[in-house]
Structure formats: C-alpha cells, structure tokens
C-alpha cells in the first residue's frame, strides 16, 4: 500500500508504504527511509507500535536530530574532527556534532528522499550519493531492502558500490519501546558483547577495546537496560557473512520480545537520553548495528573503506515474539 504522506518545504512529495505479514504491520517513508511504525502483538494479542515516530511529516522535518527510524549514512556514528585520511589524502567533512561529523553530516541519508520500488514482501529503496556529498569522496550507489519474512521478522539488507575509495557505514536508527508507550528504561537487554569501546568527552572512541566484565556495559546476562548509554559494544561474533543473533530486548509488562541478528561487528546502544520533545529520556532504546565509531581514523578497528569493484553488504533482522 502506497499513500501520499506529505510534502517537503521544497514541494517534494513524500510517500508512505505499508507492509503486512504474519500479524506484523510496518510503515516506511520515502523520506529518510524512515521506519515510522512497527505494530506487533503483545502476549494478549493486542497490536501496539513498538518504535518511536511522528504522526506526520512535519514532525520529522522540525525534529531531525533524534534520527527517528531513519537510514543513516554515508557514515553512521561519529568521525572525530570531521576529517579522515584515505590513501594519502585528508578529507574534510561537515561538522554537525561539535567538532565532529555525526551520522553522515548536516544532510545525511536520513534527510534525503529515496526512490522506492516494491519487491516481494517488501520495498527496495535506492539513491545515489554524489561525489563530494557532505565531503565524502566517490559516487556511491546505495540500495536498502526492507522485507518481512514468513514469521513477520523485519529484515534490512544494505548494498552499495562506489567509483572511488570511500568509508561506508550504514544503519537504521529506530528507537524501540516494546511497551508501546511510556518509558523503555525497564526493558531487559541481553547482548553478546564482552567488550566495548571507551570514549572521550566528545563520545569519540579512545581506541581501546575494554573488557566489559563487571561494568555497566556487560549485558551478556539479561538485565534492566536503564539509561545513560550512547556507546558502541563490540559483538563477540565479529563480522559475519550472514546475520547472527546477538541481542534480545524484553518488556516484562507486555511480554513482547525483540531479537536482533546482524552481520555487523558492533552495536551502538543509545537510551535516548538527549532525544528531545515530545519524547522523554529513556522513552526508547536504539540498537544500531554498525561498524565502530571513528573507524576511518582508527586502522586498528575493523575496516570501513569501500573500493571500486567491491560491493558493500550488510544485513540486520529484527524478530518479534512474546513470552
């Protein structure tokens, strides 16, 4: 189902698409590739929306900073000093997070209108990021496929090719609230990560891969997530060719369970402490599957440079159940 959702200030139309399968309903916008809503049943069978979103386009335009449900690129998370070296050249980016570049810059993928094509049980979103967009080198052709499988799990598959070397790190920035309203701080999180990347005052990694044992970053045994997190956790599985389950988020009140499987080596855990009105800190939990922050300046981290002739591929699957 495709409907007009609104019009941007420059008169560009934005459409909303609805996917339905196995009792799950997902709404996706052509603007920013935004996941506006994900409706799944609780243990009583009552449908509820489990991601934070705005009811109209105006909300997303006026409040861009939470990146609610959006596709993030060309580089998810932070790049220190809004610059990085590549093949002997230093590239300057648009600083939009103090001195740093965050989530692709001032006008990243989250603020672009994507071309949308229906595919079996899903949608394929495409756009071309031209050479020099937000300071990044290379013409990047990107496709992102949202699809519901036979169990109602939502898969997000990313692909990209380039005509010049460039860093690529793509993710989705949905905030999950399995209760459907109120705070998500009481949710319980299990995460297969025995290490994390400590950060400085600007939330830039120091380069250390620290042991999470005995710290507040150790979620290997499920526990209440709380608040106060905006950190990358190092997934024990590393980079994998196919998605591997790494996380489970559970709301004891509703019984809803979210599982996350991914090919990525890291997950940014963000508890919405600075999300802004009309939401409150802790109203959602972002589980951003990704490569590590500031990897273009950290050769010791898993690499994020895509070169001509290569294909960037990444996949994350969000599964839903109750208990």
CATH of the domain at 33: 2.70.98.10
Find the catalytic residue in 39, 134, 248, 288.
288
Q: Is 30 one of the annotated binding-site residues?
A: no
Q: Is 173 an active-site residue?
A: yes
Percent of the chain scoring above 90 in pLDDT: 99
Number of domains in the chain: 1
Query: What's the average model confidence in pLDDT over 254-277?
Result: 97
Domain ranges, residue 283: 2-322
Tell how strand 210-211 and strand 195-196 pair up.
antiparallel
pLDDT of residue 1: 78
Maximum CA pair distance of the chain? 59
**pTM over 0.85, yes/no:** yes
Q: Is 288 an active-site residue?
A: yes
Find the catalytic residue in 173, 187, 231, 291.
173
Q: Is 75 one of the annotated binding-site residues?
A: no
Percent of the chain scoring above 70 in pLDDT: 100
- Report the 10 Å Cβ neighbour count for 151: 13
Q: Is 78 one of the annotated binding-site residues?
A: yes
pLDDT of residue 112: 98
What are 73-108's pLDDT values in tens digits? 999 999 999 999 999 999 999 999 999 999 999 999
Q: Is 173 one of the annotated binding-site residues?
A: yes
Q: Is 100 one of the annotated binding-site residues?
A: no
């Amino acid at each position: 189902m495709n409907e007009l959702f609104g019009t941007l200030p420059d008169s560009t139309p934005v459409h909303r698409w609805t996917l339905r399968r196995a009792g799950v309903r997902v709404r996706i916008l052509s603007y920013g590739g935004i996941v506006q809503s994900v409706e799944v049943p609780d243990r009583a069978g009552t449908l509820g929306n489990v991601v934070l979103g705005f009811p109209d386009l105006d909300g997303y335009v006026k409040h861009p900073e939470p990146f609610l449900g959006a596709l993030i690129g060309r580089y998810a998370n932070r790049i220190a000093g809004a610059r990085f070296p590549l093949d002997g050249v230093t590239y300057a980016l648009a600083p939009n997070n103090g001195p740093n570049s965050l989530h692709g810059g001032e006008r990243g993928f989250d603020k672009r209108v994507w071309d949308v094509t229906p595919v079996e049980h899903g949608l394929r979103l495409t756009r071309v990021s031209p050479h020099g967009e937000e300071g990044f080198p290379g013409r990047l052709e990107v496709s992102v496929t949202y699809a519901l499988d036979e169990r109602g799990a939502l898969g997000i598959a990313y692909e990209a090719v380039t005509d010049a070397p460039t860093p690529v790190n793509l993710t989705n920035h949905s905030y999950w609230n399995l209760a459907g309203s109120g705070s998500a701080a009481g949710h319980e999180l299990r995460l297969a990560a025995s290490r994390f990347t400590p950060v400085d005052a600007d939330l830039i990694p120091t380069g250390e891969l620290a042991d999470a044992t005995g710290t507040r970053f150790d979620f290997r045994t499920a526990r209440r997530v709380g608040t106060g997190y905006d950190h990358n956790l190092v997934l024990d599985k590393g980079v994998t060719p196919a998605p591997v389950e790494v996380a489970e988020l559970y709301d004891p009140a509703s019984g809803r369970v979210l599982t996350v499987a991914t090919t990525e080596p890291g997950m940014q855990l963000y508890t919405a402490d600075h999300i802004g009105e009309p939401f409150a800190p802790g109203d959602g939990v972002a589980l951003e599957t990704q490569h590590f922050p500031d990897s273009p300046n950290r050769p010791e981290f898993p690499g994020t440079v895509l070169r001509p002739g290569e294909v960037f591929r990444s996949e994350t699957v969000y599964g839903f159940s109750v208990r």
